[in-house]
Amino acid sequence: EDQVTQSPEALRLQEGESSSLNCSYTVSGLRGLFWYRQDPGKGPEFLFTLYSAGEEKEKERLKATLTKKESFLHITAPKPEDSATYLCAVQANNAGKSTFGDGTTLTVKP
């Protein structure tokens, strides 16, 4: 059974204080690992897809990396508008079901 574990559950940072969010996974045949951002009262919005170990993707202050067992979402010099819940999901070699972690709620204080 596919499993995704995210840590920490919650993270509070000062503006400009860089940090990382972790996503550990077990899956039979990874087709893709996805990062989503979810704002309160909204549906998740897609950020990145990573396909193979060693791959990295960047967007503004966010950088996602992937190993064979985990992914990290690095946040460099965060701003208050980066406050959100970040969800990690894996897509395995099955009928297309995505398995999600419980998310990390990030709060960035000015």
Partner 1 sequence: NAGVTQTPKFQVLKTGQSMTLQCAQDMNHEYMSWYRQDPGMGLRLIHYSVGAGITDQGEVPNGYNVSRSTTEDFPLRLLSAAPSQTSVYFCASRPPRGASNSPLHFGNGTRLTVT
Q: Which of residues 53-82 bind partner 1 (CB under 8 A)?
A: none
CA–CA separation, 92 and 110 (whole Å)? 39
CA–CA separation, 50 and 61 (whole Å)? 17
Q: Which of residues 3-32 bind partner 1 (CB under 8 A)?
A: 4, 6, 9, 31-32
97 to each of 37, 66, 78, 92, how far by Cα in Å?
A: 19, 20, 32, 7
User: Closer to partner 1 at the Cβ: 13 or 30?
Assistant: 30
Task: Provide the binding-site residues for partner 1, judged by CB under 8 A.
Answer: 4, 6, 9, 31-32, 34, 36, 41-46, 49, 51, 87, 89, 91, 95-103
